Amino acid sequence: MDEYTQAALEIVKVQATTRAMSQEEIVSMVSTLAKGFQAIEAGQPIAGSGEDAAPVMDPKKAIKESSITCLACGKSFKVITKKHLASHGLTSDEYRAKYGYKKGTGLACKSLVRNRRAKMQDMRLWERKGAKKAE
Phi first, then psi: give them for residue 72, nearest 5 degrees: -85, -35
Residue 17 has what pLDDT? 86
Same domain, residue pair 88 and 46: no
Q: How many C-beta atoms surround the C-beta of residue 34 within 10 A?
A: 21
pLDDT of residue 134: 57
* Pair 63, 123 in one domain: yes
From first to last of its 135 residues, the chain has per-residue pLDDT tens of 688 888 888 888 888 888 887 888 888 888 888 888 888 877 776 555 544 556 778 888 899 999 999 998 888 899 999 999 999 899 999 999 999 999 988 999 999 999 999 999 999 888 876 666 655
pLDDT at 20 (0 to 100): 81
Do residue 72 and residue 131 come from a single domain? yes
Is the same domain home to 77 and 132? yes
Considering the domain architecture, whether residues 33 and 79 belong to the same structural domain is answered as no
CATH number reported for the structural domain that contains residue 112 in this entry: 1.10.10.1550
Residue 82's domain comprises 55-135
- Give the total number of structural domains in the chain: 2
For residues 23 and 64, membership in a common domain is answered with no
Q: Same structural domain for residues 116 and 67?
A: yes
Same domain for 80 and 116? yes
The residues, any chain, with a CB within 8 Å of residue 48's CB and separated by 6 or more, are 32, 54
CA-based diameter of the chain, in Å? 76
Global confidence as pTM? 0.55
What pLDDT shows up at residue 86? 92
Complete DSSP assignment for 70-123: -TTT--EESB--HHHHHHTT--HHHHHHHHT--TT--SB-HHHHHHHHHHHHHH
